[in-house]
Amino acid sequence: MIPAKRQKYNQQFTEEKYKNFLEKLQDGYCEIPFRVAETPIFIPKALKAKLIAAGEEIISLIKQPDFKELTKNSIPKNWNVPNENEQPHFLTFDFGICKNEAGELTPMLIEMQGFPSLYGFQSHLANSFRQVFEIDNSVNHFLNDFDEKQYIQLLKDVILGNHQPSEVALMDVDAPNQKTAIDFFVTQKMLGIKILALEDIKKIGNQLFYEENGKQIQLKRIYNRLIFDEVADNTEIFKNSFDPREELDVEWVTHPNWFYRISKYTMPFLNSEFVPETRFLNQIESIPADLENYVLKPLFSFAGMGVIIDVTKNDIINIKDPENWILQRKVTYEPVVEALDGGVKAEIRMMYLWPDNGEPQLCINLARLSRGKMIGVRYNADFDWVGGTVGFMED
């Protein structure tokens, strides 16, 4: 999208460099089970400005005094966690890169989350691209004038709060074996916090502890990476540890309820040139005649699971819980990234950190490339120049 950058990158790209890049990326951490794309995305000023403006519109909604009332029905009753705080600590907004009626590149919102993403890994990924492929400083993966030192400091402030690193842990069900484990290890190196599987944590009274060198250490703040959707059918796992839905003497970063409040559920409340028409299925008075222009999405799913791309009238009629679905106008991605053998579609995730008693700050980004029907891994299994990457934005 910045022609000179793209041309230079493609001319000096070799498979050997890409192999060296992957080795550098994994060195000292772990093998990456997801596909990392062969290229970053080079984002021009005009598109960067639109991405920033789109994010600010969404944040305006989230900061409305009635936002919690607006989203109270988003949280499933059996997954409502007590002691919710007043704000999420993380915001991530996914935008497909499209063309508007004037033929200009523009972002269109695909998904949003009040849940952490690869905040550690993306910085490491960008640095690795820079070093192996000699990307100069006229483009930046950080936003809002952040540099790496300032970014890591803000990440520390958000995740540690007022606690010592030993009192804070990144938690997931089986953390070291998750697909995103490399992000966990990079984050641990950055912040000095523990990585704990759910079963490593024990409840005594209403407090949580983990064991180290034969000593019980109180866990005072959890950097939560556990998605309840993943364990909804297996709540037995809590018996050997603790149930997050109990009253506990622990701080959450971010509190699990925000995963639901800021999600596909929020999209019908947005009215913007950067947001496709989105409606709750139970609020649709008549089924659109042009269903080929819509996609049907379950509210409570992750990684694209359950999404119906080629919607039929019967699909809609057969849904038994329409209050848990949205019907969204399809977004047409533009193949904006020039690979060695043609255009590739792109999605940009704008990533914010929101410290306690502070304001949301746009810091860094994530990008994904696709040649399939959707961005997800299973739609791109047989392609190259696809997968996770990062955007380098024109200053």
* Residue 267, number of CB atoms within 10 A of its CB: 22
Average pLDDT, the chain: 94
pLDDT tens digit string along 238-280?
998 999 999 999 999 999 999 999 999 999 999 999 999 999 9
297 touches 306 (CB < 8 A): yes
**Span of 15-29, 48-62, 223-237 with lowest mean pLDDT:** 223-237
Whether the pLDDT of residue 310 is over 60: the answer is yes
Q: Where are the alpha helices (DSSP H) in the chain?
A: 3-12, 15-26, 45-62, 67-70, 121-133, 148-160, 181-191, 228-231, 257-261, 313-317
Residue 58 in this model has a pLDDT that exceeds 60: yes
Using alpha carbons, select from 357, 365, 362 the residue that is nearest to residue 157.
357
Separation CA 311–CA 351 (nearest Å): 31
Band the pLDDT of 231: cuts 50, 70, 90. Answer: confident
Nearest partner of 173 among 184, 187, 163, judged by Cα? 184
pLDDT tens digits for 186-226? 999 999 999 999 999 999 999 999 999 999 999 999 999 99
Q: How far apart are CA 134 and CA 201, in angstroms?
A: 43
Of the candidates 310, 257, 321, the one whose C-alpha atom is nearest the C-alpha of residue 78 is: 257
Give residue 303's pLDDT: 57
Chain centre distance of CA 187: 15
395 Cβ neighbours under 8 A, 6+ residues apart: 138, 139, 140
pLDDT of 219 reads 98
The whole-angstrom separation of Cα 114 and Cα 125 is: 22
Provide the strand spans (E) within the chain: 41-43, 90-99, 105-113, 139-140, 168-172, 194-197, 202-204, 207-212, 215-219, 221-224, 251-253, 278-280, 294-298, 325-329, 337-339, 342-353, 361-370, 387-389, 391-394
Give me the residue spans of the domains in the chain: 3-276+331-394
What gap in Å lies between CA 386 and CA 389, rounded to an integer? 9
Asked if 118 and 371 count as a contact pair (C-beta separation under 8 A), the reply is no
The separation between the first and the last C-alpha atoms of the chain, rounded to the nearest angstrom, is 14
